[in-house]
């Protein structure tokens, strides 16, 4: 739960009737919009603004320009707040917005995938909450309430997520939130685990992002640090220029230190006091240091479970789980609705699977493994980087040694990678595994699939191989290089399971 006792908050719970008339957000919502717009402006024009600030001609007007931007932005935020109104009908959330160009958005309750709450530091101080509504299906969209009273946010969430009907009495809302406080967590991230999660992040990516951010800040300020460098004595600059080779190792060490530091700090900011619960038919996740988020996903709407791990993370007994719901068609399938749970142990994963896909039985499965053709294909692809290297170094002895070492190394690593590919099904679900260093496991249910495809090319055909792609509402997964007979059997089975299932798939 958010750092608030929900039961206490709802003692004066409003009746759902309160949402029948169009109403605005909390007055402080305009501050949120103001800050968000200002942040976007600063992020977009920061290098230009910093560069212009050093021009004395422009600098003398900086105050006026800044004041103008602030006033205009404040006015725009105020207009946005004043004309944003929402209300509930018996089956939909209706949002009206816009001043000159009016917009009316109707989101049927059955299209709502999840309702998430978030609290920035300033919202926590003022007792406010943000609310984000995720939707799916054709024409799906996303709605963000910038600031609501906590009570209003809790009530609205209960109504939108369907746990309480719009015509229910106020007591129903109170009972609902009372139950929420009594559930013991499925997992919590303590400081030790949080540190482990930070240590097993992608340091290279984080290091490069940090390096990029530093360069972005420094580049517009070149005049300032350039002048500072010029103040150095000539011999020091000369020494620095000559000693750059010696500085490579310290620079690399500094980069690694910076990358690990950024990873650990970002893990703390993102996953601080992470708490995962399964209550009734919902999965709830809370985390965050500066911005406290609470995600709730109805278990019945989960389409796909995706575990990812690195070698180091597995050694520490941890995995990251991504829980996917149906993607909105308007998002282009790129932005999946769901949540990420880092630092999961095997026991936690098992409990989540039992709750989300209770019929999945890993003890009774039929397995499918790719043909050995994939193993040789992986090896040949792994040798491709040697081609440009051969052009650079020529067919020298050094290149021969490098090529041979690389070949031997990749022969063993591609074998391990090949061994990581497998799929298995118990008739209800299908588990697709791949990878070695970066391992990935995906679990989905046959009856929730949207369609199924069979693929084969002229190289596979004589070898009797084919791919099967299972398309779910949360994304597609392919079982690759399996025998044609198995691919055809899986395709027929998928069609049978989808078509014979009469219930709701989401």
- Which residues in this chain contact another protein in the complex, by CB under 8 A? 136-138, 303, 326-327, 329-334, 449-458, 461, 471-476, 488-489, 491-496, 498-499, 501, 505-506
**Least Cβ distance, residue 13 to another protein (angstroms):** 35
**Least Cβ distance, residue 334 to another protein (angstroms):** 8
Name the residue among 473, 469, 470 with its Cα closest to residue 455: 469
Nearer to another protein by Cβ, of 7 and 136: the residue is 136
Q: Which residues fall within 8 angstroms of residue 146, CB to CB, at 6 or more apart?
A: 25, 29, 32, 33, 36, 81, 130
Nearer to another protein by Cβ, of 58 and 106: the residue is 106
Question: How many other CB atoms are found less than 10 A from the CB of residue 342?
Answer: 24
Question: How many other CB atoms are found less than 10 A from the CB of residue 337?
Answer: 24
DSSP bridge partners of 475: 472
**Least Cβ distance, residue 361 to another protein (angstroms):** 17
CA distance 59 to 53: 5
Nearer to another protein by Cβ, of 41 and 330: the residue is 330
**Least Cβ distance, residue 398 to another protein (angstroms):** 32
Phi, psi of 436 (to 5 degrees): -130, -65
CA distance 289 to 185: 19
Nearer to another protein by Cβ, of 206 and 325: the residue is 325
**Least Cβ distance, residue 421 to another protein (angstroms):** 21
**Least Cβ distance, residue 470 to another protein (angstroms):** 11
Nearer to another protein by Cβ, of 294 and 306: the residue is 306
**Least Cβ distance, residue 459 to another protein (angstroms):** 9
Nearer to another protein by Cβ, of 55 and 453: the residue is 453
Phi, psi of 68 (to 5 degrees): -60, -45
Assign 3-class secondary structure to 80-128: HHHCCEEEECCCEEEEEECCCCCEEEEEEHHHEEEEEEEECHHHHHHCE
Name the residue among 356, 251, 256, 347 with its Cα closest to residue 297: 356
Question: How many other CB atoms are found less than 10 A from the CB of residue 22?
Answer: 12
Nearer to another protein by Cβ, of 228 and 496: the residue is 496
**Least Cβ distance, residue 395 to another protein (angstroms):** 25
The answer to whether 199 and 264 have CB atoms below 8 angstroms apart is yes
The answer to whether 325 and 302 have CB atoms below 8 angstroms apart is yes
Question: How many other CB atoms are found less than 10 A from the CB of residue 226?
Answer: 9
Nearer to another protein by Cβ, of 35 and 495: the residue is 495
């Amino acid at each position: 739960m958010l750092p608030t006792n929900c039961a206490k908050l709802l003692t004066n719970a409003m009746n759902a009737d309160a949402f029948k008339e169009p109403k605005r957000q909390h007055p402080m919502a305009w501050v949120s919009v103001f800050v968000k717009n200002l942040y976007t402006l600063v992020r977009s024009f920061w290098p230009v603004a910093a560069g212009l600030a050093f021009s004395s001609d422009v600098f003398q007007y900086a105050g006026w320009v800044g004041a103008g931007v602030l006033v205009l932005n404040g006015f725009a935020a105020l207009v946005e707040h004043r004309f944003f109104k929402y209300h509930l009908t018996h089956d939909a959330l209706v949002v009206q917005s816009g001043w000159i160009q009016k917009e009316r958005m109707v989101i049927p309750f059955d299209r709502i995938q999840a309702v998430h709450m978030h609290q920035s530091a300033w919202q926590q101080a003022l007792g406010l909450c943000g609310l984000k509504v995720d939707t799916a299906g054709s024409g799906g969209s996303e709605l963000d309430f910038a600031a609501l009273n906590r009570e209003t946010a809790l009530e609205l969430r209960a109504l939108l997520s369907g746990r309480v009907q719009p015509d229910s009495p106020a007591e129903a809302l109170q009972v609902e939130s009372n139950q929420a406080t009594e559930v013991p967590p499925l997992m919590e991230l303590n400081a030790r685990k949080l540190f482990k999660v930070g240590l097993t992040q992608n340091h290279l990516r984080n290091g490069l992002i940090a390096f990029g951010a530093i360069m972005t800040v420094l580049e517009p300020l070149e005049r300032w640090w350039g002048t500072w460098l010029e103040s150095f004595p000539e011999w020091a600059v000369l020494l620095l220029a000559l000693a750059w080779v010696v500085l490579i190792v310290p620079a690399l060490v500094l980069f690694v230190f910076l990358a690990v530091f950024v990873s650990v700090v970002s893990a703390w900011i993102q996953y601080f006091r992470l708490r995962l619960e399964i209550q009734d038919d919902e999965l709830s996740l809370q985390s965050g240091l500066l911005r406290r988020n609470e995600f709730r996903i109805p278990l019945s709407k989960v389409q796909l479970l995706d575990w990812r791990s690195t070698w180091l993370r597995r050694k520490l007994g941890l995995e990251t789980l991504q829980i996917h719901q149906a993607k909105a068609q308007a998002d282009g399938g790129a932005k999946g609705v769901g949540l990420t749970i880092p630092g999961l142990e095997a026991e936690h994963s098992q409990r989540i699977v039992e709750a989300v896909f209770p019929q999945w039985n890993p003890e009774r499965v039929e397995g499918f493994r790719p043909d050995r053709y994939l193993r040789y294909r992986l090896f040949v692809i792994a040798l491709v980087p040697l081609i440009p290297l051969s052009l650079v170094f020529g067919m020298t002895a050094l290149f021969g040694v490098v090529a041979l070492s690389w070949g031997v190394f990749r022969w063993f690593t591609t074998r391990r990678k090949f061994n990581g590919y497998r799929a298995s099904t118990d008739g209800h679900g299908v588990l697709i595994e791949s990878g070695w260093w970066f391992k990935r496991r995906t679990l989905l249910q046959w009856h929730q699939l949207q369609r199924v495809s069979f693929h084969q090319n002229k190289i596979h055909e004589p070898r009797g191989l084919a791919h099967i792609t299972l398309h779910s509402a949360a994304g597609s997964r392919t079982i690759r290089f399996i025998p044609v007979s198995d691919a055809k059997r899986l395709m027929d089975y998928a069609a049978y399971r989808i078509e014979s299932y009469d219930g709701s798939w989401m």
